[in-house]
């Protein structure tokens, strides 16, 4: 048996085993908890396009099975989101490109590795199988001296900031721009929250990523009357190269007619530099059209690190939408844009369809890659 065949066989076995695990988890009788809920969903994507400049057109497919569940036992709550995927061709290339060393609780075949000589610059495999624990957390809620409190531990989404694409206030993790729309994932963290009023929250949190970077900070979030919200935060972060940085941030959003402007400013101090990041954005809606635009820039660095993101959406009905996201990163001289059509509520509401076209353009040197994707997701079972 050749090495290639052995690798394919091992990947197929890993994928099959992971899928069996998720299906078996669905069959486990609900715990003796007050509230148990779970959902198994499947998402399939077929794609075609050019993965790198100069390459020929490639086809691909990706299939992901996700199990989300939660259970409540008195003041305790447990939550989990586990997914397994198998991808080939352009689908494998897309997943390979979305991986980073900062991600955690994720296993794949072939194994993805960070660092020098790692997988980041290596060509993507033809076949890629992965298992990821996207969320696995426990929390306890209660009252202390009349104050609502909550403690959380595990891997869970931890996001600060109000931006859709840029969140300079967020010291815990970067956004993933490999997809058509920016996304943020879960991170191993601990968080203690207090709720001094109905619409305010004070939290202290600490997190670590897969590269060993550690971040800790505190944040206060509150509403401003009926027409806005603001937050202030302070944090400390030690990167994987042991460089330390302190930050202080404020963020806010307001309603002004059809516009909803929002902004973040984050001042940073390290041994080598004092600088700041500012983000300004706004949402607007007219009829069936909504529009978001935001820009982020640095002050005090050798580069302004200017980034611009816009998202225009036309929703002719509540279940149909057409979106056009555009992302420009000035330092890299790259722009990516696309068009995304989504249809929800097919087959009795259990099936969603989407189709997208993506173009990534680099100005220096001029090059472009593109892809077309069609995807459908469906709910398989729930309890």
From 136, 151, 63, 129, select the one nearest 105 (Cα to Cα): 136
In the complex, least distance from residue 286 CB atom to another protein, rounded to whole angstroms: 9
In the complex, least distance from residue 189 CB atom to another protein, rounded to whole angstroms: 10
Give the span between the Cα atoms of 232 and 153, in whole angstroms. 23
161 exposed, middle or buried (CB, 10 Å; 0-12, 13-18, 19+)? buried
347 exposed, middle or buried (CB, 10 Å; 0-12, 13-18, 19+)? exposed
In the complex, least distance from residue 111 CB atom to another protein, rounded to whole angstroms: 27
Q: Which of residues 19 and 268 has its CB atom nearest to another protein in the complex?
A: 19
Q: Which of residues 202 and 374 has its CB atom nearest to another protein in the complex?
A: 202
Long-range contacts of 225-234 (CB under 8 A, 24+ apart): 227/254, 227/255, 228/252, 228/253, 228/254, 228/255, 229/162, 229/253, 231/160, 231/162, 231/169, 233/160, 233/169, 233/171
Q: Which of residues 52 and 258 has its CB atom nearest to another protein in the complex?
A: 258
Pair type for strands 307-317 and 228-238:
unpaired
Give the span between the Cα atoms of 351 and 348, in whole angstroms. 7
Beta bridge partners of 87: 62, 128
Give the binding site for another protein (CB under 8 A): 37-41, 68, 70, 77, 79, 81, 139, 141, 143, 148, 150, 156-159, 184, 186, 193, 195, 197-201, 221, 223, 226-229, 253, 255-260, 283-285, 290, 315, 317-320, 343-346, 348-349, 352, 379, 381-382
In the complex, least distance from residue 347 CB atom to another protein, rounded to whole angstroms: 9
In the complex, least distance from residue 274 CB atom to another protein, rounded to whole angstroms: 30
Q: Which of residues 300 and 349 has its CB atom nearest to another protein in the complex?
A: 349
Q: Which of residues 66 and 266 has its CB atom nearest to another protein in the complex?
A: 66
As a whole number of Å, the CA-based R_g of the chain is 22
Q: Which of residues 196 and 300 has its CB atom nearest to another protein in the complex?
A: 196
**Residue 196: Cβ within 10 Å count:** 13
Q: What are phi and psi of 304, to 5 degrees?
A: -75, -15
In the complex, least distance from residue 60 CB atom to another protein, rounded to whole angstroms: 25
Q: Which of residues 110 and 228 has its CB atom nearest to another protein in the complex?
A: 228
In the complex, least distance from residue 150 CB atom to another protein, rounded to whole angstroms: 7
């Amino acid at each position: 048996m050749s090495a290639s065949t052995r690798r394919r066989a091992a990947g197929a076995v890993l994928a099959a085993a992971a899928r069996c695990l998720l299906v078996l988890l669905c069959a486990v009788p609900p715990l003796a908890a007050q509230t148990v809920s779970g959902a198994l969903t499947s998402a399939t994507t077929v794609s075609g396009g050019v993965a790198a400049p100069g390459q020929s057109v490639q086809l691909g497919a990706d299939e992901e099975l996700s199990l989300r569940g939660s259970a409540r036992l008195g003041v305790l709550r447990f939550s989990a989101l586990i997914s397994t995927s198998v991808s080939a061709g352009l689908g494998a290339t897309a997943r390979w490109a979305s991986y980073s060393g900062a991600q955690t609780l994720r296993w794949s075949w072939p194994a993805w590795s960070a660092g020098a000589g790692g997988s980041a610059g290596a060509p993507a495999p033809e076949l890629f199988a992965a298992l990821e624990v996207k969320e696995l957390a426990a929390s306890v809620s209660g009252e202390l001296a009349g104050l609502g409190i909550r403690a959380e531990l595990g891997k869970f989404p931890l996001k600060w900031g109000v931006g859709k694409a840029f969140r300079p206030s967020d010291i815990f993790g970067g956004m993933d721009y490999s997809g058509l729309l920016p996304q943020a994932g879960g991170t191993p963290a601990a968080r203690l929250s207090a709720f001094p009023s109905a619409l305010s929250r004070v939290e202290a949190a600490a997190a670590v990523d897969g590269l060993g970077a550690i971040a800790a900070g505190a944040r206060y979030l509150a509403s401003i009357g009926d027409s806005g919200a603001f937050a202030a935060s302070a944090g400390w972060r030690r990167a994987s190269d042991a460089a330390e940085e302190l930050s202080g941030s404020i963020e806010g959003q307001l309603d002004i007619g059809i516009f909803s402007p929002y902004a973040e400013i984050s001042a940073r101090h390290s041994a080598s530099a004092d600088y700041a990041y500012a983000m300004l954005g706004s949402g607007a809606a007219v009829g069936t059209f909504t529009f978001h635009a935001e820009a982020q820039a640095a002050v005090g660095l050798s580069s302004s690190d200017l980034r611009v993101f816009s998202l225009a959406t036309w929703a002719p009905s509540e279940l149909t939408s057409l979106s056009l996201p555009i992302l420009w990163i000035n330092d890299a001289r790259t722009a990516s844009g696309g068009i995304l059509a989504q249809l929800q509520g097919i087959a009795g509401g259990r099936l969603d369809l989407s189709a997208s076209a993506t173009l990534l353009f680099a100005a220096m040197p001029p090059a472009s890659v593109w892809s077309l994707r069609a995807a459908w997701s469906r709910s398989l079972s729930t309890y």
